[in-house]
């Protein structure tokens, strides 16, 4: 681990992420939705924490990201910000708070920044939301884009399969990415696309490109923290590396607690007043 983890304890900023890309240092990013996990993730040296709208699935058990509300994203954002000292904190703009109307988009982004104290927002889409992106940027709010698989559009596509395998979709993705860069976005997440396309976008753009299932030649990687900790058994995309089997570790520990309570082993003499 030594040598790869920065001993620079200064807060990570958009400027520093761009410097990391320029010197070829890969950017580490993980999601967090609550204080306890965010404190561990920040303390372990992760550069960027995403308060993803995947909270809708992971925290609330919804089957899509669509139901989560702006108030709920702000609640998760606030909880994470309270825990974090070094990482940059980005909050996802939830479905329905920016797609239709750029004025509403700016108002939603301002609420996130004002109430959660996050460092930036992320939203999904390219050309179709570019006016909203520009308005949010002109309010002084850093914006990260998100292209490729965009879970908020699941009802349009109907599947979570790999995106932009066809030439036309790949060309549109490159055009959208360039548009987001020109508008002033400080970075873009690319989700579930061919590695060769991820590499091309990272090479042609000067802002950091963070991949989730976008191959190893982009500028950084993001995963959902509960997935990489192995807390769930029922989600196994190819891009996911599980670093620990917390599902088994937690189940065994909780089972032992049940046994100890039932057998009157817990609490023992030293565990009471
Ligand atoms: O909401 C989320 O967790 C995300 C990541 C998958 C990038 O957007």
Predicted TM-score (pTM) of the model is 0.97
pLDDT digits (tens, 9 = 90+) for 127-186: 999 999 999 999 999 999 999 999 999 999 999 999 999 999 999 999 999 999 999 999
pLDDT digits (tens, 9 = 90+) for 110-121: 999 999 999 999
Residue owning tokens 């908020």: 152
Can you give the pLDDT at residue 132?
Answer: 98
**Strand, helix or coil at 18?**
helix
How many other β-carbons are positioned within 10 Å of the β-carbon of residue 88? 25
Cα 224 to ligand 1 centre (Å):
7
Q: Is 189 in the pocket of ligand 1 (CB under 6 A)?
A: yes
Q: Which of 34, 64, 147, 224 to mutate to test the pocket of ligand 1 (most atoms within 8 A of CB)?
A: 224
How many angstroms separate the CA atoms of 80 and 117, rounded? 10
Residues in the chain, how many? 273
- Is pLDDT at 100 greater than 80 in this prediction? yes
Can you give the pLDDT at residue 3?
Answer: 63
Can you give the pLDDT at residue 36?
Answer: 98
Task: Identify the residue whose C-alpha is closest to ligand 1 atom 4.
Answer: 52
Q: Which of 49, 54, 112 to mutate to test the pocket of ligand 1 (most atoms within 8 A of CB)?
A: 54
Q: Is 144 in the pocket of ligand 1 (CB under 6 A)?
A: no
- Is pLDDT at 2 greater than 70 in this prediction? no
Provide the H-helix boundaries in 23-166.
35-43, 55-58, 70-83, 102-116, 130-138, 154-157
- Is 271 marked active-site? no
How many angstroms separate the CA atoms of 259 and 273, rounded? 22
Q: Is 224 in the pocket of ligand 1 (CB under 6 A)?
A: yes
Task: Identify the residue whose C-alpha is closest to ligand 1 atom 5.
Answer: 52
**Inter-residue contact 97 to 74 (CB < 8 Å):** no
Q: Give the contacts of 263 (CB within 8 A, at least 6 positions apart).
A: none
Confidence of residue 6 (pLDDT cuts 50, 70, 90): confident
């Amino acid at each position: 681990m030594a040598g790869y983890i920065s001993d620079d304890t200064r807060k990570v900023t958009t400027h520093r992420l761009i410097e990391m890309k320029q010197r070829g240092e890969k950017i580490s990013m993980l999601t967090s939705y609550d204080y306890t996990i965010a404190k561990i993730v920040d303390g372990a040296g992760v550069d960027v924490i995403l308060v993803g709208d995947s909270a809708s699935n992971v925290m609330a058990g919804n089957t899509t990201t669509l139901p989560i509300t702006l108030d709920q994203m702000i609640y998760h954002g606030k909880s994470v910000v309270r825990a974090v000292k070094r990482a940059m904190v980005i909050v996802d703009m939830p479905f329905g708070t920016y797609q239709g109307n750029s004025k509403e988009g700016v108002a939603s982004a301002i609420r996130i920044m004002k109430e959660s104290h996050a460092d930036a927002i992320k939203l999904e889409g390219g050309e179709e939301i570019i006016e909203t992106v520009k308005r949010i940027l002109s309010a002084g709010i850093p914006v990260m884009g998100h292209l490729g698989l965009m879970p908020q559009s699941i009802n349009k596509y109907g599947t979570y399969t790999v995106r932009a395998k066809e030439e036309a979709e790949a060309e549109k993705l490159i055009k959208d990415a360039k548009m987001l860069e020109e508008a002033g976005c400080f970075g873009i997440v690319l989700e579930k696309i061919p590695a060769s396309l991820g590499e091309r976008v990272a090479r042609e753009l000067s802002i950091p490109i963070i991949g989730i299932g976008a191959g190893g030649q982009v500028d950084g990687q993001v995963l959902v923290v509960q997935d990489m900790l192995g807390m769930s058994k029922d989600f196994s995309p190819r891009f996911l590396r599980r670093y620990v089997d917390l599902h088994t570790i937690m189940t065994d520990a909780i089972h032992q607690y049940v046994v100890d309570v039932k057998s009157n082993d817990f609490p023992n003499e030293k565990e009471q007043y």
